[in-house]
Structure 1
Amino acid sequence: MADIEAKLRVIIDDRIEKLVLPSGIPSTLEELQTVVEETFDISDEFSLQYFDSEFEDYFTLHKSDEIKHKDTVKVVYAEHITLNLVPLDNSFPQHSTDTESTASNVDSSAGQSSSQDTIILSNRSATERCQPWPKQYPVLPFAFETEMILERATEDFKKNGTLLTNARVKSDILETLAKTIYTYTAYPSSAQISDVAEALVKKYPFLKEPGSFSGYYDWQQSIKYKMANYRTKLRGYGVPEVMCNALKRKRPADQKSAKNVKKPRKAELNYLPPYPAGEDEESQEQERIQLLSEVMKRDNNKLIKDKMAKTFSHRRNKIINQSPSIEDIKARWPALFEASHIQDEFQRITMVQLDSKFMSKLDEHTPRLLKRFHFKGGSMGYSSHGML
C-alpha cells in the first residue's frame, strides 16, 4: 500500500510554515524532529508541542502518533542561560565559594543580555494567572484536619448513607474553594459557581443537601457569598483587580456595589494584574517612556517584546481605570499596534495564542463558509475562473 502524504502546520516564533511529509507522519518523534530541524534549518535545541482541540491548548508531544494530517505543531526552544565566568582573582580569600563567584558574574552580565544572543527570561509576574477555567473543575485537598473528617464521613456514608453536617468543615471548604477559584477568576459566573458546587458533591456525595433537587443549591449560594467576602479581604490587601470596584474608587454617580462593575469578560484571565515585585507606577512609567524611543529603532524587536511584557500590568492599569481613547493608547503604546505585539498582548490577557486559535476556528468553519458562498452566487460565489 502506498504511503499517504501528510501535511502539518508548524509554528516557529512569529511565523507559520507548512510541512509536507510525502511518506506520512514519521513513526517516531525523533524522526519528526529531525525532519522539522532540517526542513526549517533550526540549529538550536527544541521540543515540539501539538494543539489539542479538546482543551484548546498546546501540550508536549511525546509520540508522533498523537498527531495526524493537518494538525498544528509548535517549535519550543529550550531555555539556555549563559554565564560569563571570569578567573578568580588570587587577591581574594581562597575560601570564597563558587556560588558567590557565579552570582557576581550573573549580576554583572545582566545588563548586556539584551544585546547578546542570550535568551531573555519571561517578565511574567508570579501573580499573573496562567490557565483558563477548567472544563472539569478539580476539587483540591483541604486542610489536614478537614481531610481526616471527610475521610471518616466517606466511610459512614458508604455504610449507612449518613450525610455530613459540620459548620466548621463547611467553613474550611468554602475558604479553600474561594482561594482556588481566585486562581482562575475573581468574579466567577453563576455557571462557574455551579460547576464548583457540582464537582464538590460529586467527589463527596455525603455533602449533598437533603430536599434539594440538585443537591448543591445551598453550596452555590454559600460559594457566591464567600467569593464576595473574599474579594473584600483582597481589597484590604490592595489587589488591583478588586480595588477598581471599591466604592471610593467609583464616580459619585456610580457609587453602588452593583453598578459599573469592572470585571473580566469571557476568556480574560489577567484582567488587571498587580505590579511585579519591586515595581510601581513610577518605575513602570519610566519603562514606558524608554519604550517610545526603542520602537523608533530598527531590528530591536527582542528588547521591545521584553519591555512590553514587563510593563503589562502598568498598561492594563491605565486602560482599565482610565478608559483612554484609541488615539491616546496609540500615542502611549505604539508597539501595541503591531501584529506580533498584538498577539503577545492577547496571549498575556487570555493565555491563548491568537494566530493558532484563529486558524483552527477558520479551518473549522471553512466548509460552511464555502457552502454559503456557493449558494450566494454572483461575484461572491464566483472567482475569475468560475465557481469557488
Structure 2
Amino acid sequence: MRVVVVAETFLPAVNGVVTSVLRLVDHLAVRGHDPVVLAPSGSSYESRCGARVEVVTVPSMRLPRYRQLPLARPAADLTAVLRGLAPDVVHLASPAVLGLAAARAARTLGVPSVAVFQTDLAAFAQRYRLPGGPAAAWRYLRTVHGTADLTLAPSSAAAVLLARQGIGPVALWARGVDLDQFAPCHRDEALRAELAPGGELLVGVVARLAVEKRLELLAPLSELPGVRLVVVGDGPQRRALARAMPRARFLGQLGGAELGAVVASLDLFVHPGADETFCQAVQEALAAGVPAVVAASGGPLDLVRHRENGWLWAGDDPQVLAAMVAGLRDDPATLQAAAAAARPSVAGRTWGRIGDELIGHLQRLRSAVPAGVPR
C-alpha cells in the first residue's frame, strides 16, 4: 500500500505524535509498504530500517505561546497534493488543522482515511483558555473525525471519551515501546551518583514542559528530604518550573541511549498530567523497570495497575502526591516489588506488534471503502 501519513507536527519537534509517526513510517517500510509523510516541517530522510522516506511540507505558522512548534496554516486545500501523491489510504496522526484538510481531500478523491486520536484538544483549549473552550474544540473534533472513515483511540479511556462525544466508529490502537532503548540493563550507577549524590530516592518525569502536563504539582515532592527530582524535557514552562522547583535537576530534551540511561536509572517515575490520551513516557519507564505514580485518569489507566507496577494518584492535591512518594521512599521492599513487575507489564507491547495491528486496520479499511468514489 502507498500510505500518506499526515502529521500535525513533525521533525525537528520532539513529542508523542512525532515518535509515533516515525515508528509507523519505519514499520510500513519494513513490511514492504510505501509511506509518505505530509507535515508542516521536516525533510525527506532515511528511516531506521534504511528506507528513503519522502516528506512533503505545507505552509506553516507558529502559535504565540508555543513558538517551538510549527503548525499547518488553516484553510489549505490539499486535493491537488493528495492527487499527486496517489495514496491507497490516508493516515491522519492526531488530526487538527492539517488533518481536516487532508480528510476532506481524501473524501473528495475517494481515498479511505483513518484518524488517530492522540491529543485531547478539548483539554488543551481549556488549559490555554482558547476561544470557545472545550465545547468548540469538541465540535471541531467531531467534524475532523466525522470526515474520516475510522477513528483509532490509543486507550480505553480515550475510546470512552470519544463515544461520549458522538465520535465513531472507533477502534482501539495502542502505542508500542522500544524494549531495547528502554530496559533495566541501561541503569547507570555513575549517573545515579551524579544525580542523587546522597543516595536519595531518584524520582523523574519525562514530559513537554507545558501547562497541560501540570508539572508544577511536583513542587512539594521536589522538597522532600531523601528525594531528588529529575525533569527531562523542554517547553514554554521551563523557566517558571525551574524557579518553582530550585532543588530539581532539569536535564533538557534527551533522546536515544542518553534518554534510555536516565529513565532506567530512576527509582520511581511520576507523571501528574490528567489529560493524557496514552502517555508514552509512562510506558517507556515501565519498560525500563521503573514503577510509576500517575494521575488516575486517561491513558495511564491502561498501563499502571495500582499497587502492582505502580500507583494511581486520585485528585489534584500535590501534597497527597508528595506523601505517596514519601511513603515509597520509606518502603523500599514495596518499591522493589513494583519495579520487578514493571517491565513484564509492557513486554508484549512491541512496535512490531502494534505496527502490524495498524496495517490490519488500514488494509480492512481499504477493502471496505470503494476506491476512487468521491464521498
With normalisation by structure 1, the TM-score equals 0.21
Greater Rg by CA: 1
Q: Of Structure 1 and Structure 2, which has the larger fraction of its residues in strand?
A: 2
Of the two structures, which has the highest relative contact order with CA contacts closer than 8 Å and spacing of 6 or more?
2
